[in-house]
Structure 1
Amino acid sequence: MSKTEFEKMQAGEWYSCLDPELTVLRRRALEASHEHSHLYPSERGNIGPQLRALFAECAEDVRIEARFHCAYGINIHLGRDVFLNVGCVILDTAPVRIGDHSMLGPNVQIYCADHHRDPELRKQHLEVAKPVTIGSNVWIGGGAIILPGITIGDDAIVGAGSVVTRDVAPGTTVVGNPARILPR
């Protein structure tokens, strides 16, 4: 029996992102993000109800500023006291785990989808999903981009505008494009 494109995505195998089942899941995430971004703050609270229900895991005290976008939502795990500032984007084709007390600045982008390098296969809309893990007490500055498959250790800092192309060790500060360790 062959796997569905969703099952391939969840297994970290190459899959076609233009699939009816995946389209339905993305639409559900778009609707939840839209609700979150358009409710009056007094009605929404820290996070819109559809968005909270969509996430795989979301601590009670998570706070997400409006405008927010996610690809599916179902792969997002948010620990206690997590804060996502305005304009954050999480393309969660694979699990995205953000640990307790971590903060993401405005317009931080987290990508799990990685497209095929072969141009003929890329034309077939093939991609592979690679998880992103952000530890506890991490601070990611505004406009930073976290690429597929990255792990950022506890207590790390990612400078504003950085592009993280490699894992970041716990307690390390990285800056730049590509992000490099900031000398002490």
Structure 2
Amino acid sequence: MLAGELYRADDPELQAGLRRAAELQRRFNDGGDPAVLRELLGSVGEDAEVRPPLYVDYGSHVTIGPRAFLNYGAVLLDVAPITIGADAQIGPGVQLLTPTHPLDARLRDKWEAAEPITLHDNVWLGGG
């Protein structure tokens, strides 16, 4: 999955990761607790701010750099790694989506793939 190879989204191990992330995501979105955010995500840099609600697949594949800011309603579908650099500014409702699907229609109903996303330092993405 992380290497960009085809995988099955209904794999039991992946489903367990989705359930873990859903519970932590719910807790973060209910109260905005930075400790829960640090448990949910792979890495959160010093003085980074994420405003709830935040939506992820696994969370553990997301790295947020120091002083980065993610506004309300970010969607980070992190089947592959998502890296957000230092001092990046992300507007409300931004979606970073790593999943892709095979071009061959015969594979599309069972298989998925993913490509990583990297936003370098000082990137700004406006709302939506």
Structure-1-length-normalised TM-score: 0.67
CA contact (8 A) 2:48 2:69 kept: yes
| Matching residue of 2:87 | 101
| Matching residue of 2:15 | 23
Deviations 1:42-91 (A, max 9, x none): xx2xx3x2321232221131111111101111111111101110000000
Identify unmatched segments of 5+ residues in structure 2: none
Bigger RCO (CA 8 Å, 6+ sep): 2
Does 2:120 correspond to 1:135?
A: yes
Does 2:103 correspond to 1:111?
A: no
CA contact (8 A) 1:29 1:51 kept: no
Deviations 1:86-120 (A, max 9, x none): 00000001111111000110000001110112222
Does 2:41 correspond to 1:55?
A: yes
Identify unmatched segments of 5+ residues in structure 1: 1-8, 144-184
| Matching residue of 1:69 | 55
1 CA distance for matches of 2:47 and 2:55?
19
Alignment: residue pair count: 128
Moved over 4 A (4+): none
1 CA distance for matches of 2:106 and 2:37?
36
Q: What is the percent sequence identity of the aligned residues?
A: 39
